[in-house]
């Protein structure tokens, strides 16, 4: 019988899966925008569909939610807020700025873990960060220009990465709930916060109102897609931090950039050449460096005499 993966390996696979899903997230989001749900309204609709699907989970674990533990609710709110701020940032600044500033997350994750749980930032982790950021920079093709926050959208993108790192660490330090409980809480709070953001953006004239008559055409594919893809990804997103340093989680989430680049080239006719291929390879290498190093070190130790 083949040996089952250990908890850390499963958590790494969960983080990669989450990155893969959010790498194709733009496809249904764009479909929702085209159907009449502009900007954050599209994200809200996704979260609403996902929240409807996790209601049975909330009922099953109702004592964990009502009244529930304050720390669990704070973690669910924090992860939902991080996601909502990330999604909303796209309304107020350039896509490139959002990606670069959000994916400073591994730095925040490693630093916070060092401060609060004394988890050492090893040379391999520094190397992984350097390789991952190099891949990100190659794909974006920004040369030497770094997007120093200059507007509200930039600050939101930067804050979202920090929030994800902080609450990923909170999940790791808490560890008292099942991943489905964290996931259901995350989806619910994300829906509430993105919905509030959409209404606020519409009320202030920054975003048109959603075309609610389009619901009949979108729900037949949106609900099954959320059930099969988005909700499992949400659970995977919060399962990974239950076992892993938040910096490692951030590096593995970078799979989103690679998948987004490839999928956009296939389905949106966006460029994919040597530069994009090199960036994808570097980001992939960043994600596997630590795992490969740990496996190598264990192999060396196992072969050592006595």
Q: Across residues 180-191, what is the average pLDDT?
A: 92
- Low-confidence winner among 3-17, 206-220, 254-268, 291-305 (lowest mean pLDDT): 291-305
Name the token pair of 65: 């939610």
Compute the distance between CA of residue 51 and CA of residue 195 in angstroms, rounded to an integer: 12
Compute the distance between CA of residue 234 and CA of residue 284 in angstroms, rounded to an integer: 21
Phi, psi (deg, nearest 5) at residue 129 = -60, -45
Q: Across residues 89-97, what is the average pLDDT?
A: 74
- What's residue 291's pLDDT? 80
- What's residue 67's pLDDT? 74
Share of the chain above pLDDT 90, in %: 46
Compute the distance between CA of residue 214 and CA of residue 218 in angstroms, rounded to an integer: 6
Q: Across residues 205-222, what is the average pLDDT?
A: 91
Exposure string of 132-160, with b = 16+ CB inside 10 Å and e = fewer, is bbbbbbbbbeeeeeebeeeeebbbbbbbb
Indicate if the pLDDT at residue 125 is higher than 60.
yes
Residue 223: pLDDT band with limits 50, 70, 90: very high
Residue 37: pLDDT band with limits 50, 70, 90: very high
Question: Where do the structural domains in the chain lie, given as residue ranges?
Answer: 7-105+147-245
- pLDDT tens column, 224-262: 999 999 899 989 999 999 999 999 999 999 888 888 888
The more confident residue out of 138 and 169 is 169
Indicate if the pLDDT at residue 92 is higher than 80.
no
Q: What is the pTM of this model?
A: 0.87
Indicate if the pLDDT at residue 102 is higher than 80.
yes
């Amino acid at each position: 019988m083949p040996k089952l993966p250990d908890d850390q390996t499963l958590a790494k696979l969960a983080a990669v899966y989450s990155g893969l899903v959010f790498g194709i997230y733009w496809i249904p989001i764009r479909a929702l925008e085209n159907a009449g749900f502009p900007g954050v309204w599209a994200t809200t609709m996704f979260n609403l569909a996902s929240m409807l699907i996790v209601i049975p989970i909330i009922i099953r674990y109702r004592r964990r939610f009502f009244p529930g533990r304050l720390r669990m609710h704070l973690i669910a709110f924090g992860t939902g807020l991080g996601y909502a701020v990330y999604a909303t940032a796209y309304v107020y600044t350039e896509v490139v700025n959002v990606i670069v500033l959000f994916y400073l997350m591994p730095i925040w994750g490693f630093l916070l873990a060092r401060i609060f749980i004394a988890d050492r930032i090893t040379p391999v982790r520094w190397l992984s960060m350097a390789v991952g950021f190099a891949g990100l920079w190659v794909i974006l093709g920004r040369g030497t220009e770094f997007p120093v926050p200059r507007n509200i959208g930039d600050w939101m993108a930067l804050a979202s990465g920090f929030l994800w790192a902080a609450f990923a660490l909170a999940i790791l330090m808490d560890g008292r709930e099942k991943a489905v409980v964290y996931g259901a809480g995350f989806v619910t709070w994300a829906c509430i916060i993105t919905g509030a953001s959409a209404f606020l953006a519409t009320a202030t004239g920054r975003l048109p109102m959603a075309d609610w008559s389009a619901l009949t055409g979108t729900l037949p594919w949106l609900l099954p897609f959320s059930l099969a893809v988005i909700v499992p990804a949400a659970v995977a997103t919060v399962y990974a931090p239950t076992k892993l340093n938040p910096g490692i989680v951030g590096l593995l989430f970078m799979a989103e950039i690679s998948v987004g680049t490839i999928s956009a080239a296939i389905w949106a006719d966006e460029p994919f050449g040597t530069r994009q291929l090199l960036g994808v390879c570097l980001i992939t290498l960043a994600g596997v460096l630590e795992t490969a190093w740990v496996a190598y070190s264990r192999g060396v130790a196992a072969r050592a005499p006595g």
